[in-house]
Chain A
Amino acid sequence: MTDQPNSYKTGPDENGRFGDFGGRFVAETLMPLILALEDEYERAKGDESFWAEMDDLWEHYVGRPSPLYYAEGLTKHLGGAKIYLKRDELNHTGAHKINNVLGQILLARRMGKTRIIAETGAGQHGVATATVCAKFGLKCVIYMGAHDVKRQAPNVFRMRLLGAEVVAVTSGRGTLKDAMNDAMRDWVTNVDDTFYCIGTVAGPHPYPAMVRDFQAIIGKETKVQLQAQEGEGRLPDTIIAAIGGGSNAMGLFFPFLDDTSVNIIGVEAGGKGVNEKMEHCASLTGGRPGVLHGNRTYLLQDDDGQILEGFSISAGLDYPGIGPEHSWLHDIGRAQYVAITDVEALEAFQLCCAVEGIIPALEPSHALAHVMKIAPDLPADHIMVMNMCGRGDKDIFTVAKVLGFDMSDAE
């Protein structure tokens, strides 16, 4: 840790790089499109009316600010650090995804685009996109891996209700990676009217930076709320979030990057365990740098540079890559990244239901499982903020199956 920058918040550079990560690794057909998007985003970023519209929608449509909640049940149960949950699961549509979707759809409107495409894993980004498209009367096409269409059926139905076309992607293993491939293929085919609304901090520049900026509302609010709640200008000691592509985590982390007393922990999906069998989605813990979906980042890949299919019980974390800014934060040591297995996440899922009366999504259950590991050994004045980035309604079928509860006659 010798060559640390003055600020961790200046990236990306003009080539879309965070250190060596990020970039614009796309086909020539898409290059003019992402340059146009970058221009428009730069203009919008400095435009007060853009942010005024965002703030208004965040407040009245999404329900922001989301509460910062002192989780007394968890704190007592674990008997160590003081645990707060950032309640982004209370957002309209049930996850953090809508924070970013609103920003991108407003940009799409500014650019005169009439057709929105998106990839989705758990279906939360798809639902958020379908929702905002319904609100603004935009045509919406969602690409979702065929495997995920099965395991996240409630969200598929939600998207259809909201008027979106859901395309089940059968290439590969039929998960998020494959959905993203097909969304890109749609985009190269429909360049004039279509806006690609990426759901996480990955993809070619400017997506990682733009999605981060839209999600940073999570960390900004947390900072203000904790100050009010704890008095005396207190920063948290540890902030922690689950990582699929890394957008809810980047949103929480970014405003705290230069507060170097704050310990930052990202939790990847460890699936069946991070070992040579590669049945996990822990790109940083078990992968190495490569180029996929427009950016250089840590990836799960074999010796030949072929991308491996990840594995996780959580469809939202089932992605073999990670946003490039996380790769950079990992390499320079500003954030720490750990992996949590399916079994550990399921335990956390149940604990949260039992002691907090909150049914969490499987994704933040991974973050909570790590909180369960470390909180007991920390002192009572150690403040830990975990991003409760989604609610578990979408996951009850998956969890019921694992726990042996028969829901086949659910109606």
Chain B
Amino acid sequence: MSRIDAKFAELKAANKKAFVSYIMAGDPDFEMSLEIVKGLPAAGVDIIELGLPFTDPMADGPTIQLAGQRALNAGQTLQKTLDLATEFRKTDDITPIVLMGYYNPIYNRGVEKFLTDAKAAGIDGLIVVDLPPEEDSELCLPAQEAGLNFIRLATPTTDNKRLPKVLQNTSGFVYYVSINGITGAAEPEAADVAPEVARIKSQTDLPVIVGFGINTPEKSEAIAGIADGAVVGSAIVSQIAAKQSVTEVLAFVKTLADGAHRA
């Protein structure tokens, strides 16, 4: 059983929703982002999404674009992102880590080598924004074979005809993008999202986690309440951008996690 499957089994047994947090690896620099990541489980984070910086994040809004630029300016690379996971794993062997980013840095390293190294670094799953099911042979299938979960994004434009194709090679969980748009943009309404989650759940047994635009403990609670969990990214990244300390960032994360766990 993968760390992700184990985590969802544990949450289910405790009748709890999942709280998933996103930060950009290396933002604002390697040391601080490692400190934040190390503190996430204690702040209530069930699954850690670690952003892989890329110069051209086409699906991200300004908040995450700038986080990527801060990380790259501070010298973050794919190797250093794997190093960050390796360091974290010395302190925590349970909390799943999902790498989220774009394909080019992975393709550039070589898919086989990347998968071997990611597995060795304790990475559990991948979300690669610019790899739709049409390109599954690139990374999705090799990743599953290497024992990494490949988590797919489903969106409001993914209609019922297309949904089976999106779900087909997905594992770990399904990430439902609650709005058409970039990260950190519009705020989703739980009432609008609920039927969409139900639509996806009618076609899969995988947990469905909802993200994009969640920025308060109340939203976190409301969205987690109608799904299997909630993801928060830009709102946390904004705290880092505002030069909050590690303690302050983690305290903010805890309020969001508590929100989701109240659901």
Pick the residue among B58, B106, B135, B156 that contacts A293 (CB under 8 A).
B58
Checking A33, A296, A301 against B157 with a beta-carbon cut-off of 8 angstroms, the contacting residue is A33
- In the assembled complex, A191 has its CB within 8 A of some CB on chain B: yes
Partner of B61, one of A184, A185, A190, A306: A185
Q: List 11 A-B contacts (CB under 8 A).
A: A24-B135, A29-B59, A29-B153, A32-B162, A184-B58, A184-B59, A185-B182, A188-B59, A293-B56, A304-B105, A306-B55
Q: How far is the CA of A306 from the CA of B104 in the complex (A)?
A: 8
When C-beta atoms are compared, the residue in chain A nearest to B166 turns out to be A28
Query: Which chain B residues lie closer than 8 Å to A191 at the CB level?
Result: 157, 180
A229 lies within 8 A of chain B by Cβ = no
Find chain A residues with CB under 8 A from B55 CB: 172, 306-307
CB contact between A306 and one of B72, B129, B154 (< 8 Å): that residue: B72
Residues of B within 8 A of A15 (CB): 134
Indicate if the CB atoms of B177 and A29 lie closer than 8 Å. yes
Residues of B within 8 A of A32 (CB): 157-159, 162
A172 contact set on B, CB distance < 8 A = 55-56
Any B CB within 8 A of the CB of A189:
yes
- A interface size (C-beta, 8 A): 35
Contact B181 A188 (CB under 8 A): yes
Binary CB contact string for chain A from 278 to 320 against chain B (1 if under 8 A, 0 otherwise) = 0000000000001111101001010111110000000000000
CB distance from B170 to the nearest CB of A (A): 11
User: Given A185-B60, A303-B108, 10 more contacts at CB 8 Å?
Assistant: A15-B134, A26-B130, A27-B130, A28-B154, A29-B157, A188-B181, A188-B182, A189-B185, A291-B130, A307-B104
Whether A364 is near chain B, meaning CB under 8 Å from some CB there, is: no
Instruction: Determine whether the beta carbon of B132 is less than 8 Å from that of A290.
Output: no
Indicate if the CB atoms of A24 and B134 lie closer than 8 Å.
Answer: yes
**In the bound complex, CA of A27 to CA of B61 (Å):** 14
- In the bound complex, residues from chain A placing their C-beta under 8 Å from that of B107 are 290-291, 296, 305
Q: 0/1 per residue, B45-75, Cβ < 8 Å to A?
A: 0000000011111111110010000001000
* A-B contacts, CB under 8 A, total: 116
What CA separation (Å) do A107 and B156 show in the bound complex? Answer: 24
Complex contacts, B153 vs chain A, CB 8 Å: 27-29
Q: Which residues of B contact A270 (CB under 8 A)?
A: none
Q: For the complex, is B169 an interface residue (Cβ under 8 Å from A)?
A: no
A299 / chain B contacts, CB cutoff of 8 Å: 104
Q: Is B105 touching A27 in the complex (CB atoms < 8 A)?
A: no
CA distance A9 to B79 in the complex (A): 41
A181 CB–B CB distance under 8 Å: yes
A28 touches B132 (CB 8 A): yes
A residues within 8 A CB of B129? 27
For residue A165, give the distance in angstroms from its CB to the closest CB of chain B: 18
Contacts of B158 in A (CB 8 A): 28, 31-32
Question: Distance (Å) between the CB of B169 and the closest chain A CB?
Answer: 13
The reply to whether the CB of A157 lies closer than 8 angstroms to some CB of chain B is no
Question: Which residues of the partner chain A approach B60 to less than 8 Å between Cβ atoms?
Answer: 185
Does A212 count as interface, using CB distance less than 8 angstroms?
no
